Structures are given as C-alpha cells and as structure tokens.
Amino acid sequence: MDRNTHLVGQSSSFLDAVERASRAAPLDRPVLVIGERGTGKELIAERLHRLSSRWDGPLIIMNCAALPETLIEAELFGHEAGAFTGATKARPGRFEEANGGTLFLDELGTLSSPAQDRLLRAIEYGEVTRIGASKPMQVDVRIVAATNEHLPRMVEQSRFRADLLDRLSFEVVTLPPLRHRHSDIPVLADHFGRRMGLELEWDVWPGFSEEAMARLLAHAWPGNVRELRNVIERAVYRWEDQSSPIGDIQFDPFESPWAPAAAKAIAAPAPPVAEAPAAGGLAAAAASVSWDPATCADYRLAIAEYEKAILIAALEKCRWNQRAAAAALSLTYDQLRHAMRRHKLQEA
C-alpha cells in the first residue's frame, strides 16, 4: 500500500480546498497550490492530474528549490550536446518529458528571473527551446505550481513577474495548516497509526490514550501533516505493549539529556549546586530499599531497584502528578514515562 497518495481529513476548510481542486481538475488551465510545508501540496497536484483528461499521460514533478540557479533552465527546457561545459549529449527537459501530461513545479517562488521569462513564453505559446538549439518545439503541457511564498508580495518586491503570476493563477487552491484543522488531528493520527501498526504486523490496533490524544490536539504542528505522521509513526514503533493504548508521544526527536551542549556551556560549566528542594527526601526514600546494594551480587538489579525507589518517592511526593514528578527529577515528561514503563509503574 502506497502511504503517500491519500488525502485524509474531514474539516470543512480542508474539504473546501479539495473540492476546489476537484472542480478545477477537468479544465485544461494552470493551477496554483499555496500552503505551508507539510500541508499536502503534492497530493493536490496529483489529484488535479488524475481527475483531468490527461490522467493517462505523464505527471512530471520538479522541485525548483533542489537545483542550483544555473541548472534550472537546463532541467526545464533541456539542452543540446555541447551547449555548455559538461553537456556531452543532448537531453530533453521536463517540458518535453511532460508532453501530453502535467508538469508540477514545486517551490515555484525560487525560480530565477531568466527562468521565469522562459517559463512565461512556454506557457503562453506552448513551445520550448533547448539550450543551444536554434528552433523551438511545440509541447502540450498543463502546469500545476506550488509554493509556500506569498507571490503577490514577491511581485511588489520585484522578485516575481506579475505577468507570469497572472498566467498561472487561473485557479488558486490554498491549503489550510493543520492547526486550523483541529477535527482532523484524531482522524490523521488514527490513519497513520494503523498503517504503522500494519507495517509492524500488529495483531490489534490499541489506539491512543486520552492523555496522548490531548497532547496531540494541543500541539501547534509547525510541520503540519508531515510532522504529525512522523510523530505518530515514531510513537507506534516505540510502543512495546500493543494490548494497551499508546501513551508516549515525543514531538522533538532530538530531545535528550545527552544532546550536544553549546560551546559556551562547555567552556563555563555551572558550579555544583545542592540537591534541588523539589527532590528533597528522594535519597532517603531510595535508601529504604529492603536490601543492601553494596552486598548484592546482581549489580544491575541493585541499580534498577534504586532507580525505581527514586521514581516512586518522586511520584508519591507529587501525588502521582507525572509532570510535577518529571520537573522534580529534572526529566522531561516523556523520559519519566519511559522510566515508569520500564519499571512497570504505569498500572500504579
């Protein structure tokens, strides 16, 4: 199953954008797709292609930001052998490859001014000229372009051609960010979670705990659906007990007590401080372990019991408020949850 070709959602703002794209799809006109990173612009472009009369033709995708400015024109329009240093043989451009189909130009706002000039001519007259060639060739291509830039503002700043924007903006589909699709978060989380569960060959899908879902709903999602998918898939594959609802969510995969410190912090370490007041009494509680670690033959078991005693003392001191206990132990909430699960304290 291809996990990247599904538009999932039920919010009115999202469905309105999908409906607008669906209505524009049969018309052989350019369409601009606007949206923040991770909102699904490429999926809308594919929908525009599949619902058009060109559905059986090629869908060629070009990320304009992935190429240096000197190569964008060669990629778009192709080149003849010897047209420039390194061009040992002729090569067709993306316009030729998309002939009879759709050309999706992602990150349109990064196109250089010369590339914008040639793109305008290609759209206006339906002809392209390879670099180094003397004669143009006719192409039949529908343009779908996407960007997260505000193109009218770029026109005001003389960074984008006004006539090119006019030519491309027959229809503009603006995708809402995930923070404005609140009702879609549980639906998307369940969708991505189930797919990851299938990939891991889980027998059942446990879903998410109420606390985990509350944290998902409260997050701002700057990376939108792409970020949500990463968070959900990471939570599912790390969860060890598929019989209980998933309760651990980590939004920042780089979060770690062993993350590299800043150079200044290493050069001037803070002086040692006394034990934090919030953790007061934890050492005494740990010492109440019923056996002497110094005489225990199992070193790892002694360490585990000592750590468990500290966790229990902190949780009891904070009346089993896990966030307060995490703060008292100078841990993140997710680190405390992992430690509790390791010592089977979640049931308590």
Same domain, 116 and 207: no
Q: Per the domain annotation, does 6 fall within a domain?
A: no
Residues 296 and 311 in one domain: yes
Of the three residues 176, 197, 229, the one that is the final residue of a domain is 176
Indicate whether 166 and 194 sit together in one domain: no
Assess whether 80 and 33 both reside in one domain: yes
- CA 121, 127, 129, 134 torsion-angle sign: negative
227/160 same-domain check: no
* Interatomic CA distance for residues 31 and 96, integer angstroms: 19
pLDDT of residue 97: 95
* The pLDDT of residue 274: 38
* pTM summary value: 0.73
304 and 319 inside one domain: yes
Answer with the one of 132, 147, 176 that is the final residue of a domain. 176
Q: Which of 142, 155, 225 is nearest to 188 (CA)?
A: 225
Instruction: Report the number of distinct structural domains present in the chain.
Output: 3
Q: What digits encode the pLDDT tens for the residues 266-276?
A: 555 554 443 44
Q: Is residue 3 part of a domain?
A: no
Q: Average pLDDT of each block of 10 consecutive residues along the chain (348 residues)?
A: 69 96 96 96 96 96 86 88 81 93 95 90 90 90 96 95 95 96 96 96 95 95 96 95 92 86 56 44 52 59 82 86 85 82 74
Q: Which domain holds residue 41?
A: 12-176
pLDDT value of residue 72: 87
Based on the domain organization, do 35 and 97 belong to the same domain?
A: yes
Tell the burial category of 227 from Cβ atoms under 10 Å away from its Cβ (0-12, 13-18, 19+).
Answer: middle
Please give the pLDDT value at position 275.
42
DSSP 65: G
Rounded Cα distance, 4 and 40, in Å: 9
pLDDT at 297: 60
How far is the CA of 55 from the CAs of 32, 104, 108, 244, 267, in angstroms? 18, 14, 23, 44, 61
- Tens-place pLDDT, residues 179-227: 999 999 999 999 999 999 999 999 999 999 999 999 999 999 999 999 9
Q: Are residues 341 and 213 in the same domain?
A: no
Residues 74 and 215 in one domain: no
